Structure 1
Amino acid sequence: MATVREADPRGAVLAFVLQVLGALSALGVVLASRLALSAVLDERAADDPDLLIALLLLALFTALSGSVGVLQAAQQRLLGERVSQLVWRRLLRVTTSVDLPTYESTRFLQRLDRVRSNAVSRPVAVSGALLGLVGSGVGVAAMTAALLSIEPILVPVLLAAGIPSVLIARRSSRAEFDFAKDSTYLAQRRGYLKMLMSHRFSAAEVRAFGAGPGLMARHQQDDDAYLARLTTHSRLKQRFALLTVAASGVSLALALLVIVALVSANRIALPDAGAAAIAARLLAGQLVTVFRSVTSLIESGPFLRDLEGFLAMDGLSTEAGERRGLETGLAVRGATFSYPGATRRAVDEVDIDVPAGSVVALVGENGSGKTTLAKIIAGLYPAAADSITWDGEAIEPADLRASVTVLFQDFIRYQMSVADNVVMSDTSNPVDEDRLRAALDRVGVGSAIEALPRGLDTVLGIELEDGADLSGGQWQRLALARALYRDSPLVVLDEPSAALDPRAEHELFADVRRVLDGRSAVLISHRYSSVRLADHIYVMDGGRVIEHGSHAELVAAGGRYAELYELQSRTYLES
């Protein structure tokens, strides 16, 4: 209810009023029916004022009851959308702020998928159930009062249906949550296979390898497995629903039989009997709504607890850190990091220095820990207290993230305008078009952008709009411009030339200091012809730094760097 009030306070009040109005209009139908039946059974003339008033009231309350139902449905849809938007905003705040190691864990991703698929919609269902419970509760009270005034014995007969309904609802809720929890893995895999067969990024490879039939077969197998589970679960739910309906039907039938018996015994008059029958039917309907609402609330309980626990997860601070200038440099001492479940450390007691204005390279074979170390330097992975110093002082993780820019090898190609793709790195400040154009020119893609149909406003990609596209190298330059636009004093570049042709790569690294414009840089690359220009090179293996120095010093030392450099150089010479 707090969520509903926060999402739409006025809409919640209006929905409540409509629920109460609907219940009272149903009571009006009962009272008007009793008046009309009394007039008819007394054989009054058609033009008798009492009969006309009774019929007019009956028509009025019947019309009001029907129209309120339409208004309720429209208001509930609007309220549900606002509640859904609020819950999604809360969910996305968690997904965008939780620390990176937690986000990358299988447990978190499975829980996220379960919450996203099942729990997110529950607040909307619960808001509808709560409002339905309020309206039906008022209706039950009104119908109960009407029946008590006619014949009290009818009330316990109808209310008795609630006992089995609530007990059944508890069992049904547990079964629903267990089904959702046990089916999470299947749902994830089916979603992934759908993505592979329907998204643009995989279309070319799927066709090139003829992988479509194989993927379809896998998807069909998972569909069959899920359908088998769903069939078993649905049949169980159907049994629960039939038992609930049977309990309500039996109670109504007993109430109507009691009315017949009371009329036969001359304990109530025919007008009262007719009104009692209508009230009993309406009360039975209101009780069904109450039981359905209670069932929905009970069924949603485990999902809401799951959602509440997820939203309460501790993540990174949402407060922006303070961007600092770099006067002397960044130092890493004894950095250590292990991935959950790993048997060895990904980074093990590493020491490196990045002096202000210098270019430092990290090299090594795949799995040596380079990218993990880069994420530690950028504040994305946690490091021990005081293991990273900035200008000789310890730095808070939020300030470190604000002061370092990272360009990953698998950078995002945003389906947005060119300008949006670049300024995405610094959305906390107003767009600076001069800085934007300078970043594009610095990486050598400014003229290509100007040639696009709408320049900076050209939408890139064709999935969301009929936009333009760039070559792989142009996308990489655009991503580099994004990193430079942020204007932080230290830039981490993870394979920044992977999509560039040899000429473009040579031009980029030959002029790398102009491109960086005085920034310090940590460069990760497998191409030793590119890293040789770095001021200092650290060679990693098994999570440790095994040697470091300038290119000339490392080649002269004849160690791992010299070996790898020779292997790569020999490949080019032999070809």
Structure 2
Amino acid sequence: MLSSLAFHRTGLRLLSLVRKIDPALLPVSLIYALTQVAGIYVGLALTAGLVDALVALELRGAVVYATALVLTSFVVSCVCAHCKRRATVGGMRCAWRFSLMLREKALSLSYETAEDPKLTERIAYIERTAQMHGGIGTLPRFYRDLIGAAVNMLTCVSLVVALAFAQPASKGTLGVAASPAVSLALLTLVLLVALGGNTLVGRFRARLLDWVTSTHSSVENRIMYLLNLVLFDRRVPKVARIYDMGDMLMRNLEKNHGASMEYFDRWISGERCIDVGTSAVNAVFTVASYALVAVKVLAGAITVGAFTQYAGALAQFGAAYTALVSNNGDLRQCCGYLQEFLDFMDMEDPRPAGSIPVEKRDDGQFELAFEHVSFRYPGTDAWVLRDINLKIDTLGKLAVVGPNGAGKTTFIKLLCRLYDPTEGRITLNGVDIRKYDEEEYRDLFGVVFQDFRLFAFPVWENLAAGYPRDDRRLWKSLAQAGADGLVRTWPEGLETRLYKDLGDGVMVSGGEAQKLALARALYKDAPVVILDEPTAALDPISEAEVYAGFDRMVEGRTAIYISHRMSSCRFCDDIIVFDGGRVVERGSHDDLLAAGGLYAELWDAQASYYVG
């Protein structure tokens, strides 16, 4: 948790973000706070005038004061209502932008950094705490109420100081008691008692907030995990029913909910003690204040109407100080959580960024090479790849095969610079790929990973992705992937939305989705096309159709296939065999069969599925 004053530095920085998101929100919030305070004290002054006019039987004056009081109340209510509505809209805009900034930052980080589970947990923590304790959209409200309370207190003190200096008309003991010197001394004592008592209560509240901050996250994280698991993870319902997991999941949820309720009970008990302490301090202050005002009235220093004004002002002081302490505590808590958001936004990607532009070539000729490349995933000791040395011929078809866990997919991730080698280097035309502009380098590749993802967007957006729309190219890519006939059967063609996440899409099978993902890779028109298990979800007929069209698909491109289906290797000019993170064989289909090594074993194991 931030220190007692440091959090305001965080708060001011966050307010600068709010101002950029919605320039009108802060002025509107300030107008709301000042209008509320002005309404209170103008109302007290008019009420005092009304009482004095009634006491003096000045009916015309009483009507004027009453009319002014009604009009003031009406104007203040209208202004505050408008400001409140406008602040609500601004707060919603800030909340949306808050989530957007988190995702923009995450997308700006390298894949290697963004894939770190700790980063995912960090983003989820920032969002959950913002939902529970307020995001940047709540800051203007906290500061509005804080400023309003401070202005209220200062106005009250100014009035009460003026009250203390009011000269009594009476002499003797009552006159001495109502004299400015005694009044100021009594006022100072009362203020010190009130400030001291509320300061102690405020310290207790700060300790309570520190405890809340340090203890709540683990329980809430477990509850959110379980809720997401039960309600939103589409894979869970099948497994839960097959293995009768319903009672187990609910038991865990109830257990953590019980721990959460115990925590909230302790929190509420602490808040109750704070409320009792605050009420006790304010009660003492109110009694002493009313005694001071009463003495002034009895001594003839102020009128009966002024009594109502000063008594109301003194009552405002206690409420304003309580609001000041409370909002200061809320701000401290909110800024403490949001400091994590600022730290995340300030985070620099640890991976170095290159700047060299990639040479533009129309002939598709590039030289890619792995030079003594070894790799292990961050936070692990196990080597996934060891001392890989190879060159990739352009404008050819390369197959990458091997047993599960041999390192094939990792090899592709390194090639696409989703990860950097732990040892060694990868070069493009003799230059370390880490020196190239990352976006330009990645534009060389069109990839369909085995765990590809399509979205509940129109077909054309799924295919064009981050590139401009070109309907001719879209239909050509769909035809090359064997999916044009499918899309033409849909009523809206390229405008058809996939899936039913948003209620109006079409459902596609795994094989159909894989063809669309293949069309997306082809639409990019990258010089290198990488297909990870390109026919895994296809039936035998569709698989045969795709293989028959491979030459047409990758014409003029370099094609790299990762596959467990050895039949795909027959369509390739070159085959690399991985095993245990190393390249153990390389050659043509016929040469590797003749060598009788691992490739031949894998081929023979699947030979019964192939024809001719």
Which residue number in structure 1 is paired with residue 105 of structure 2? Answer: 94
- Written as runs of structure 1 = structure 2, the 5 A alignment for 1:225-244 is 225-244=255-274
Query: Aligned pair 1:299/2:333, yes or no?
Result: yes
Paired position in structure 1 for 2:572: 534
**AA matched with 2:146:** L
Output the amino acid matched with 2:72. F
Contact conserved, 2:286 with 2:318, CA < 8 A, in 1?
A: no
The residue type paired with residue 569 of structure 2 is: V
2:375 maps to 337
- Which blocks of at least 5 consecutive residues in structure 2 are unaligned? 1-14, 165-183
**Matched residue SS, 2:586:** strand
Other structure's SS at 1:162 match? helix
Deviation at residue 478 of structure 1 after TM alignment: 0.6
Task: Say if 1:113 and 1:188, in contact at 8 Å, map to a contact too.
Answer: no
Structure 1 segments unaligned to the other structure (5+ residues): none
Aligned partner of 2:5 in structure 1 is: none
Q: CA deviation at 1:161?
A: 4.6
1:178 corresponding residue in structure 2: 214
Confirm or deny: 8 A CA contact 1:379 1:398 kept in the other structure.
Answer: no
Q: Give the 4+ runs in structure 1 shifted more than 6 A.
A: 316-321
CA shift at 1:405, angstroms?
1.8
| Counterpart for residue 314 of structure 1 | 348
> How far apart are residue 529 of structure 1 and its match?
0.8
Instruction: Quote how far apart the aligned CAs of 1:572 are.
Output: 6.2
Match of residue 19 from structure 2? 5
Distance 1:72 1:280, change over 3 A: farther
Q: Is the 8 A contact 2:32 2:79 kept in 1?
A: yes
CA distance in 2, matches of 1:339, 1:184: 30
For residues 385 and 558 of structure 1, what CA distance do their matches in structure 2 show? 32
Once the two structures are superposed, the pairs formed by residues 155-234 of structure 1 within 5 Å of their partners are 155-183=191-219, 185-195=221-231, 199=234, 205-206=238-239, 209-211=241-243, 213-214=244-245, 216-234=246-264
* TM-score, normalisation: structure 1: 0.91
Which letter maps to 1:113? A
The equivalent of 1:276 in structure 2 is 310
Which position in structure 1 is the counterpart of 2:4?
none
Q: Distance in 2 between matches of 1:146 and 1:61?
A: 20
Distance 1:443 1:295 in 2: 60
- Whether 1:20 and 2:20 are equivalent positions in the alignment is no
The equivalent of 1:59 in structure 2 is: 70
User: Aligned equivalents of 2:247 and 2:93: distance in 1?
Assistant: 40
* Residue identity in the other structure for 1:360: L
Matches within 5 A, 1:480-519: 480-519=518-557
One-letter amino acid of the counterpart of residue 389, structure 1: T
Aligned residues: 561
Q: CA deviation at 1:565?
A: 1.0
- Per-residue displacement from partner, 1:185-222 (whole Å, max 9, x unpaired)? 4035214422456x4x665x358x545x51x3233223
1:564 maps to 2:602: yes
**Structure 1 CA distance for aligned equivalents of residues 231 and 356 of structure 2:** 34
Whether the aligned pair in 1 keeps the contact of 2:31 and 2:83 (CA below 8 Å) is no
Contact 2:367 2:429 (C-alpha < 8 Å) held by counterparts: yes
In structure 1, what residue type is equivalent to 2:16?
A: A
Alignment of 1:35-74 (within 5 A): 35-40=49-54, 42-45=55-58, 47-49=59-61, 51-74=62-85
Q: Quote the offset at 1:356 in angstroms.
A: 1.4
Question: How big is the alpha-carbon RMSD for the aligned residues of Structure 1 and Structure 2?
Answer: 2.6
Is the aligned partner of 1:33 residue 2:51? Answer: no
Deviation at 1:570, TM superposition (A): 4.1
Q: How far has the Cα of 1:564 moved from its partner?
A: 1.2
The answer to whether 1:258 aligns with 2:291 is no
2:374/2:385 contact within 8 Å kept: yes
On the 8 A contact 2:219/2:260 being kept in 1, the answer is no
- On the 8 A contact 2:32/2:144 being kept in 1, the answer is no
Q: 1:240 to 1:145 in 2, by over 3 A?
A: farther
Normalising by the residue count of structure 2, what TM-score does the alignment of the two structures yield?
0.85
Match of 1:401 among 432, 442, 447: 442
Q: Give the aligned residue type for 2:60.
A: D
Contact kept? 2:397, 2:558, Cα under 8 Å: yes
Name the SS of the counterpart of 2:583 in structure 1: strand
The corresponding residue for 1:122 is 135
Structure 1 residues 439, 202: CA separation in 2 closer, same or farther (over 3 Å shift)? farther
Match of 2:408 among 367, 370, 373: 370
Mark the CA change 1:63 to 1:237 in structure 2 (over 3 Å): closer, same or farther. farther
- Asked whether 1:543 is paired with 2:581, we answer yes
Q: 2:149: which partner in 1?
A: 136
The answer to whether the 8 A contact 2:47-2:309 is kept is yes
Q: Is the 8 A contact 1:378 1:492 kept in 2?
A: no
- 1:74 alignment partner AA: R
Q: Which deviates more from structure 2 when the two are superposed, residues 237-246 or residues 458-467? A: 237-246
Seen in structure 2, the aligned counterparts of structure 1 residues 288 and 373 have a Cα distance that, compared at 3 Å, is same
The Cα of 1:259 is off from its aligned counterpart by: 3.8
Give the equivalent residue in structure 2 for 1:380: 418
**CA deviation string 1:355-383 (max 9, x = no partner):** 11111111111111111111111111113
- Is the alpha carbon distance of 1:69 and 1:320 closer, same or farther for their aligned partners in structure 2, counting shifts above 3 Å? farther
Shift of 1:560: 0.9
Structure 2 letter corresponding to 1:412: R
The alpha-carbon deviation at position 36 of structure 1 amounts to 2.0
Please say which of residues 262-271 and 349-358 is displaced more in the overlay. 262-271
Cα pair 1:459 1:465 within 8 Å, conserved? no
1:105–1:285 CA distance, 2 compared to 1 (3 A): same
Cα distance change on mapping 1:220 and 1:248 into 2, 3 Å: same
| Cα separation, partners in 2 of 1:166 and 1:456, compared to 1, 3 Å | same
Q: Which position in structure 1 is the counterpart of 2:6?
A: none
* Change in CA separation of 1:430 and 1:415 when aligned onto 2, cut-off 3 Å: same
3-state SS of 1:9 partner:
coil
Alignment-derived partner of residue 110 in structure 1: 121
Cα distance in structure 2, aligned partners of 1:222 and 1:301 = 32
Q: Secondary structure at the match of 1:545?
A: strand
For 1:430 and 1:399, the matched residues in 2 are separated by 16
